[in-house]
Amino acid sequence: MRQKILVYTIVFALLTYIIGSCANTSTPPMGGPKDTIPPVLLEVIPNSGATGVSLKGATIELKFNEYIQRPKDPREISFSPPLEKNVVIKMRGKSLIISSEAPLDSLTTYTLSFGNSIVDNNEGNKLPPYTFIFSTGSHIDSMLCSGYVLDASTHMPQHNIKVALYKDHSDSVIYNSLPSAIAKTDSAGYFVIRNIPAKEYLAFALSDENGNNKYDPDNEKIAFLDTLIFPAKVLRETMPELRPYDKKDTTLESRRPADFTMYLFKEDPFVQYVKENKRTEQRRVSIVFGAPQVQLLSASFEGIDSTAVLKEFNLKRDSLSLWITDAVATLPDTLKLSLTYYKSDSLRQLSPATEELKLVHRGQNDSTSLKPMSVLIKSDPVTIDTEGFTITLPAPLSTIIRDSINIESSDVRKNITKIPFEIVKDTTSYLRYRIIPGTKLDTGSEYTLNIPDSAFVSIYGTYNLAASSKIDLPTNEKLSRIVMNISAGIEGSVFIDLMDGKRQKIHRTYYISGESDNKLEFPYLAAGDYIIRVSHDRNQNGYIDTGNIREKSQPEKVAIYTLANGKDIITLTEGKEIEQSMDLKELFK
């Protein structure tokens, strides 16, 4: 009996397994190696390299050994020279069909670049970058040029940027015309423009946010070369420029043959107008202009003496603050401001214009004239020796009672000493000051800034409330230090920034003369990777000027300090101190 039950049990289990296996037809068999092989291109119709293609348009069919996914974005597949309309993409079985609706130019070699847009249907394996070439003339053009596009400020590679060449050398070509040839940068900022005729070209790079292959300065970045280029390389398929590179091999990525390097920047706006105006407080007005370096001729309030108005521009002169210094006068709910400045006309030419602005008080608290002032203090142990304590006030000052302010140091034995200091007004704001220690600070000591009541008097006669701030200088033996010996030899000034290895965070900045030698210290550094960026403020206006296409001016130069081993990364281990030398003249030669 037990044997029969055992047999029935085994038979029932087998039937259950078989029925379940048959019913679950959608579940793939388990196990087996994962498919990692990209699609294989079996045939292209017409063959790559075809000549005499009709000017009415082109249709190319790519046949593969397996089903592929439809490219998600038609812009991933690009023509050079670019067309007025995007390509039409169709799928037919295992074939990808690309059609151009726009007419083609005569006697022109076209390249159709697919990039990494072709992937198989199941595992997403990518076909290596593929380019199809054809000509509407009797031959295929065979010249080539290559290079890099880097960010002008950080020198980081710029991905998916279009590099455009123009046979037309007129100033307006980047705004109004399609390029004569174009290519996109890869993740290393590298590009290759291939199958072009041997002619002189203007060269630009643009971020092309809207994909129209023209430059739109309001929201796009650009780069350009100062001189015309003439491609001198004859294309061969075995050239290192065309060889696929492993993206993980960053050293090899940055050493591919390059004919030139372009530095991408965002232009300052150049259409001048009053972009924004508001009455931020009862006695304060803010005006924001459309472009920097506004030429202001006059600014006057109706019914208010001009001597009772304090004016302040920001560093780039695209923002103006106006303070009415009379704290006693009763102001109307609506202030009338007459503003005369050089404004852009319909042709974008500057000419004097007067605007009458009405500025309404919305009932905000009149903190600048009625309330005691709160003082905001910021400090950082890493930069206290050079930047000091930064204080921010709610209103401009008329008086500072310096003797009432003090900085006290407390050593490990709790000995209290008052140390010298200087008060420096921020060059960009009436509301900020820096209080900088006037002596060398000791690690392990504690430093306290004390600001008593009434040390500051505002233009409205109000006084500050007491405030203090305390910092401890680190003594951690694991912290490291970099010392830089700077050899001068260039005009103007330089910003020297210590940044993290990814060039995203600035740890410390020095602003020094390019004409005098210096010894700079970067203390209290954790173990990790760092770089040193040097920016040349040639005109000494306090910031790094961006480029200007209309004036054909490049951004002020930025360089990344390179070690003797050719690398720009400074790797610090715990408790390490390194000393390096930098020659500014050599760096910016």
The model's pLDDT over 110-146, given as tens digits with 9 standing for 90+, comes to: 999 988 889 988 888 888 888 999 999 999 999 999 9
In this structure, what CATH number is given to the domain that contains residue 451? 2.60.40.1220
What's the whole-number average pLDDT of the chain? 89
Q: How many domains, in total, are found in the chain?
A: 5
Confidence of residue 15 (pLDDT cuts 50, 70, 90): very low
Scan for tokens 């319909």, then name that residue. Answer: 346
Q: Average pLDDT for residues 247-264, to the nearest whole number?
A: 79
Is the CA virtual torsion 168, 174, 178, 183 positive or negative? positive
Q: What is the largest CA-CA distance in the chain?
A: 117
CATH number of 169's domain:
2.60.40.1120
Q: Based on the fold, state whether residues 560 and 512 are members of the same structural domain.
A: yes
Asked if the model's pLDDT at residue 32 lies above 50, the reply is yes
pLDDT for position 23: 41
Give me the amino acid identity at 154.
Answer: T
- Which of 110, 135, 160 is the last residue in one of the domains? 135
Pair 78, 172 in one domain? no
Residue 336 within a domain? yes
Please indicate, yes or no, if residue 24 is contained in any of the structural domains.
no
If asked whether residues 361 and 376 sit together in one domain, one would say: no
DSSP per-residue letters across 303-315: TS-GGGEEEEE-T
Q: What is the pLDDT of residue 389?
A: 97
pLDDT band at 232 (very low <50, low <70, confident <90, very high): very high
Find tokens 């001048």 and name the residue.
272
Span 379-433, pLDDT tens digits: 998 889 889 999 999 999 999 999 999 999 998 888 999 999 999 998 888 899 9
Do 364 and 378 fall into the same domain?
no
Query: Residue range 510-522: average pLDDT?
Result: 95
Residue 192 covered by a domain: yes
Residue 6 pLDDT grade (very low, low, confident, very high; cuts 50, 70, 90): very low
Nearest to 108 by CA among 79, 131, 88: 79
Domain that holds residue 556: 480-587
* Cα 100 to Cα 110: distance, rounded to the nearest angstrom: 12
Is residue 152 predicted with pLDDT exceeding 90? yes
Q: What is the pLDDT of residue 588?
A: 94
User: Does some domain include residue 5?
Assistant: no
Cα angle value 175/180/182 (rounded, 5°): 90
Same domain assignment for residues 283 and 260: no
Distance CA 578, CA 514 (A): 23
Residues 151 and 250 in one domain: yes
Confirm whether 456 is domain-assigned: yes
H or E segment and range at residue 351: strand 350-360
Residues 254 and 183 in one domain: yes
Q: DSSP letters along 179-242, please? A: -SEEEE--TTSEEEEEEE-S--BEEEEE--TTSSSS--TTT--EEE-SS-B---EEP-TT-GGG
SS3 384: helix
233-234 and 143-151 as β-strands: parallel, antiparallel, unpaired? antiparallel
Cis before residue 555, ω within 30 degrees of 0?
A: no
Cα–Cα separations (whole angstroms), residue 102 to 80, 127, 415, 515: 13, 27, 82, 58
**Is 209 within a domain?**
yes
Give, in order, the Cα–Cα distances in Å from 284 to each of 56, 200, 279, 289, 299: 64, 56, 6, 17, 13
How do residues 432-443 score in pLDDT, each as one tens digit?
A: 999 999 998 888
What gap in Å lies between CA 504 and CA 570, rounded to an integer?
15
112 and 180 part of one domain: no
Looking at 135, 165, 183, which one is the last position of a domain? Answer: 135
363 plus 375 within the same structural domain: no
Pick from 131, 121, 112: nearest CA to 64: 121
Domain-located, residue 29: no
Instruction: Looking at the structure, tell me whether residues 393 and 312 fall in a common domain.
Output: no
pLDDT higher than 90, residue 323: yes
The span from the CA of 419 to the CA of 406, in Å, is: 8
H-run or E-run covering 367: helix 367-370
Whole-angstrom Cα distance, residue 380 to residue 471? 7
Does 20 reside within a domain?
no
- The answer to whether the beta carbons of residues 355 and 339 sit under 8 Å apart is yes
- Residue 74 and residue 211: Cα distance in Å, rounded? 11
Domain boundary among 368, 398, 428: 368
Task: In whole angstroms, give the CA distance from residue 459 to residue 396.
Answer: 6
Q: Which two tokens stand for residue 80?
A: 């050079």
- 534-586 pLDDT per residue, tens: 999 999 999 999 999 999 999 999 999 999 988 999 999 999 999 999 999 99
DSSP string, 497-536: EEEETTS--EEEEEEEETTS-EEEEEEEEPSEEEEEEEEE
Q: Residue 241 — φ and ψ, nearest 5°?
A: -60, -30
Total count of residues recorded for the chain:
589
Q: Is 357 in the same domain as 377?
A: no
Q: What is the CATH number of the domain that holds 511?
A: 2.60.40.10
> Cα 479 from chain centroid?
30
Which tokens go with 452? 């008593």
pTM of this structure? 0.86
Q: Is there a single domain that holds both residue 406 and residue 463?
A: yes
Q: What is the reported pLDDT for 364?
A: 54
